[in-house]
Amino acid sequence: MNETIQQKVTPSCVSASAPRKVYVIGHKNPDTDSICSAIAYADIKRRTEEGIFEAKRAGQISQETQYVLDRFQVDPPGYVPNVAPRVKDMEVRRIPGVSDHISLKKAWNLMRTQNVNTLPIVQEGNTLEGLITISDIAKSYMDVYDNAILSTARTQYKNILETLDGTMVVGNEHAYFVKGKVVIAAANPDLMENYIEEDDLVILGNRYESQLCAIEMKAGCIIVCEGAPVSKTIQRLAADRVCAVISTPHDTYTVARLINQSMPVKFFMKSSNLITFHLDDYTDSIKDVMAKKRHRDFPILDKNDRYVGMVSRRNLLGIKRRQLILVDHNEKSQAVDNIESADILEIIDHHRLGSLETMAPVYFRNQPVGCTATILYQIYQERKLEVPKNIAGLLCAAIISDTLMFRSPTCTALDRAAAERLAEIAGIKCEEFATEMFAAGSNLKGRSPEEIFYQDFKKFELNKANFGVGQINSMNPDELKELKSRLLPYMEKALGAHGETMLFFMLTDIIHQSTELLCYGGENARLVEEAFHQTPLDHSIILPGVVSRKKQLIPAFMSALQQ
């Protein structure tokens, strides 16, 4: 694909230092103009301004539009059905995950260094295994009175060495202390025999007799404090009896106080019923969960359930709203869902003024031409930008589609001139290309009535009237008759599905420049009669010369509703 069309962007969370990302997006149920104009304007913005500008779509692509994209080898814009803020729009803190084998002391040091209260415990591949919090560490230190907990937790000697700043004199640091209790050898050797048992871990000083006694009592490990030397005899005897020997510079009291901090976080971490969110979750859906739980931090996963980072309730306060540029529409009913949650920066359109409201003043360019693509061609010229060949093809296709190959009353001299110049750049002939494009767009074999009905569908509201109008353009009258037999039964089923009280569908014959209007629901007959002075028969009426929804059908309906 031509690099001027789409910029590859690695997904990441929004942060203060990240370049702004702006979506250029058309209306729901997008037509060819909506898609092609979004692609073209994103190209213009990338070439003239700082930031990341991406063309997006708010609905499924029609067969006509897909033909155009394939013809000019352009990838379709990404699908964005909803612009409400998501978790990935929050400031996700990239706290690295840690192994479940690290000691409590190391976890504590990491928390202090990173200024966090929660550490994620992950397995290989960043799969979340559990969470350890400052509270968990405090409980392990304050609430544990079991002198066998070190072995119960299966503590690795490596953790003990790290916690006590120790040296392994005899034994394997990768081995585990799995049996026995922790004992402080403060008594004489003759009394030690009464409380040292096999496999115990014994904390003692530099007394040879005490060290020897502990080994002979089959201790699993002895810890020699204050950096006292360990004789060769003790080392040989310990090796023969498979007793680990650790030397530490700390005194007995310090060792006794620190020893429990060597236990692995796995023993204390929370691993069940974890509350996690995904990057694509909407923030509205997670607010209630976060409010009800007293957790300070919540782990975030990607679409493959791999750990990404952490968020807290306060991160909701600094959430960034999506930034949008709208093309080919300016009505809320036609805009992507949750448009009120986004910041609208610009609007480029050629329709009547609609119902959208913005938080701040925006750049709004609206011209009485037949197609938004015509305005985009003008912007290329005004900014002295060369139109890439493939984008020229897209814009030409959009103009031909919106003006029905210049037959629509919406078509202006500017539209025709722009299309002819763009056709030259793209290396196509308007008449030949129009025939191919309309044939591809009207080939609806294998598509359901629902797909056909909503392929090019728009909603309108006025004076409490709420109605929707779909349209299909075809150069084949027989195809339109077949579509009528399929769509009329579906309209009965679809009425009210999206809040409309009336539904209309335009079966537009491009060759004969006429439309058969299908009508269903509410006071459709009265509205059509007042607008066109004809009465529908069997939910249908022929409107000669009417081919444009925007310039002929909707203005007539609006005028009738106002009266």
Contact of 228 with 211, CB cutoff 8 Å = no
Q: What is the pLDDT of residue 499?
A: 86
Please say whether the structural domain 89-140+267-313 has been given the CATH code 3.10.580.10: yes
Inter-residue contact 498 to 393 (CB < 8 Å): no
Enclosing H/E stretch for 301:
strand 298-301
CA 132 – CA 201 distance, rounded (Å): 26
Angle between helices 389-402 and 413-426 (to 10 degrees): 140
* Angstrom distance (rounded) from CA 504 to CA 469: 5
> In this predicted structure, what is the pLDDT of residue 143?
67
Pairing of strands 52-57, 363-366: unpaired
Of the candidates 16, 6, 62, 46, which has an alpha carbon nearest to the alpha carbon of residue 456?
62
- Let me know if the fold of 21-85+321-441 is the same as that of 449-562: no
Of 367, 451, 471, the closest CA to residue 32 belongs to: 471
pLDDT at 10: 33
Cα 345 off chain centre by? 21
What are the C-alpha distances in Å from 173 to residues 30, 67, 244, 296? 65, 66, 9, 36
H/E element, 450: helix 449-453
Q: If we measure between CA atoms, which residue out of 121, 142, 125, 150 comes closest to residue 133?
A: 121
Burial class (CB in 10 A: 0-12, 13-18, 19+), 266: middle
Superfamily of domain 449-562: DHHA2 domain (3.10.310.20)
Furthest C-alpha separation in the chain:
117
Bridge partners (DSSP) of residue 309 are: 300
pLDDT in tens, the chain (563 residues): 333 333 333 333 434 456 789 999 999 989 999 999 999 999 999 999 999 999 999 999 988 999 999 999 999 999 999 998 888 888 888 999 999 999 999 999 999 998 999 999 999 889 999 999 988 888 877 766 788 999 999 999 999 999 999 999 999 999 999 999 999 987 677 677 778 889 999 999 888 888 998 999 999 999 999 999 899 999 999 999 999 999 999 999 999 999 999 999 999 999 888 999 999 898 888 888 888 887 888 999 999 999 999 998 888 777 788 899 999 999 998 999 999 989 999 999 998 888 888 888 999 999 999 999 999 999 999 999 999 999 999 999 999 999 989 988 889 999 999 999 999 999 999 999 998 998 887 777 778 899 889 888 988 888 778 899 999 888 788 888 888 999 999 999 999 888 899 999 999 998 888 999 999 999 999 999 999 999 999 999 999 999 999 889 999 999 998 87
CATH class of 154-250: alpha beta
Cβ-Cβ contacts under 8 Å for 207 (sequence gap 6 or more): 189
With CA atoms as reference, report the closest residue to 507 among 485, 534, 535: 485
Q: Domain-by-domain residue ranges, the chain? A: 21-85+321-441, 89-140+267-313, 154-250, 449-562
* Residue corresponding to tokens 């491009």: 510
Q: What is the pLDDT of residue 6?
A: 35
Convert 229-277 into a string of H (helix), E (strand) and C (coil): CCCHHHHHHHHHCCCEEEECCCCHHHHHHHHHHHCEHHHCCECCCCCCE
Q: Which fold has domain 21-85+321-441?
A: inorganic pyrophosphatase (n-terminal core) (3.90.1640)
